[in-house]
């Protein structure tokens, strides 16, 4: 039986970068947390399949948050194939985050 060749979509998914969003649980009011999660969903839509956005909170996954040695939360860490490409402490300002993230992957911004 022949081995199936991966489709371009599968290859892209395997090569896709991951934006880890390390979030605090302490001191975050529910409306602020809901707004942050909604903003992250909108960011995911704008980034498309090039970058997968994953939120990780320090209460549910403390070892993951600690492994990135983030001194201030929230923190954004862009990773591809286990290599950290970019990091930012605190929330990004303005609309430049999409272009900034895609630039780290050397991809043109989506239109």
For residue range 48-101, what is the model confidence (pLDDT) as tens digits?
Answer: 898 999 999 988 999 999 999 988 889 999 999 889 999 998 877 767 888 889
* CA 16 to mean position of chain CA atoms: 11
Count the Cβ atoms, other than its own, within 10 Å of residue 68: 15
| Residue-level pLDDT at 70 | 85
**Interval 104-111 mean pLDDT:** 66
- In 3D, which of 37, 45, 38, 44 has the Cα closest to residue 19? 44
**Residue percentage of the chain with pLDDT more than 90:** 37
Higher pLDDT, 78 or 14: 78
- In 3D, which of 56, 62, 61 has the Cα closest to residue 40? 56
Strands 83-89 and 51-57: unpaired
């Amino acid at each position: 039986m022949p081995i199936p060749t991966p489709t371009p979509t599968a290859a892209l998914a395997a090569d896709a970068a991951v934006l880890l969003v390390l979030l605090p649980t302490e001191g975050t009011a529910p409306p602020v947390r809901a707004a942050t999660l909604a903003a992250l969903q909108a960011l995911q839509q704008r980034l498309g399949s090039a970058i997968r956005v994953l939120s990780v909170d320090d209460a549910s996954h403390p070892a993951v948050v600690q492994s990135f040695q983030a001194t201030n939360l929230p923190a954004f860490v862009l990773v591809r194939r286990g290599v950290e490409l970019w990091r930012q402490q605190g929330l990004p300002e303005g609309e430049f985050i999409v272009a900034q993230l895609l630039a780290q992957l050397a991809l043109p911004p989506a239109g």
